[in-house]
Amino acid sequence: MSETAFTHDVGLFQTMEERHSVRKYDPKAVITDEEIEDMLEKASTAPSSWNLQHWRFLVIDDEEKKQELLPIAYYQQQIVDSSVTVAILGDLQANLEADTIFQEAVDNGFMTDEIKNTIVTQIHGAYEGETPFARDEAVLNASLAAMQLMLAAKAKGYDTCPMGGFQREPFIEAFNIPERYVPVMLLTIGKPAKEAHASARKAVSEVTVKNSF
């Protein structure tokens, strides 16, 4: 392994090991719009099925909106004390993006029109019918972006907490979420008022199975 590759590994692994969920934030800490945008750009480099990029980010930093979100999130104080809460949404109709995304690949010479049309037809076919496929894909792929957002925030010196504990329907109504999107999680970002402690982890041997159960 080259020295450069080793340095990159150390930095990445250190960020992963230092990331812990923080629930107590400094309410005076401010994250600039430029920093948020940079973190979201890094999160958007996450992989996704067919490169459909199923995630949408609803950035909530207005104090009144935080107060509106607080009871919806069962009065968890980090909603108002963190600098910003990002609602991670998944696109239930991500297939509608396929033609545009793959046309760019054609324009850049990465594939032919014939191949593009075949792939787009396959994508639309996967989304047909009354199956959980669209929702599963929305949650799966948006979660990949959420994890990258947590790592991007930590790399910038901020801490995060992914939250599944909130009322979906009241959230959808209060924040005017279109039917196309499903709320996946809330993600608080800010400066910790109290450092998080490392949580216990199972041994890899307990969570790993080789080849088959």
Tokens 């969570």 locate to 207
CB atoms within 10 A of CB 144: 16
Q: Could you give the CA distance from residue 67 to residue 36 in angstroms, rounded to a whole number?
A: 20
What does the alpha-carbon distance between residue 66 and residue 55 come to, in Å, rounded to a whole number?
21
Within 13 A of 121's CA, how many CA atoms are on the CB side? Answer: 6
* Four-CA torsion 202, 188, 22, 198, nearest 10 degrees: 20
What's the DSSP call for residue 200? P
Radius of gyration (C-alpha) of the chain in whole angstroms: 20
Closest Cα to residue 153, out of 57, 77, 42, 54? 42
CB 92 within 8 A of CB 181: yes
Q: Are 162 and 146 in contact (CB under 8 A)?
A: yes
Domains and CATH numbers, the chain: 22-96+138-191 (3.40.109.10)
What was the pLDDT predicted at 99? 97
How much is the pLDDT for 123? 98
Q: Is 183 helix (H, G, I), strand (E, B) or coil?
A: strand
Burial class of residue 209 (count of CB atoms within 10 Å of its CB; 0-12, 13-18, 19+): exposed
Rounded Cα distance, 165 and 186, in Å: 8
Question: What pLDDT tens digit does each residue of the chain (213 aa) get?
Answer: 555 544 455 588 888 888 888 899 999 999 999 999 999 999 999 999 999 999 999 999 999 999 999 999 999 999 999 999 999 999 999 999 999 999 999 999 999 999 999 999 999 999 999 999 999 999 999 999 999 999 999 999 999 999 999 999 999 999 999 999 999 999 999 999 987 777 888 999 999 999 999
The model's pTM is: 0.90
pLDDT in tens, 61-90: 999 999 999 999 999 999 999 999 999 999
In this prediction, residue 6 carries a pLDDT of: 45
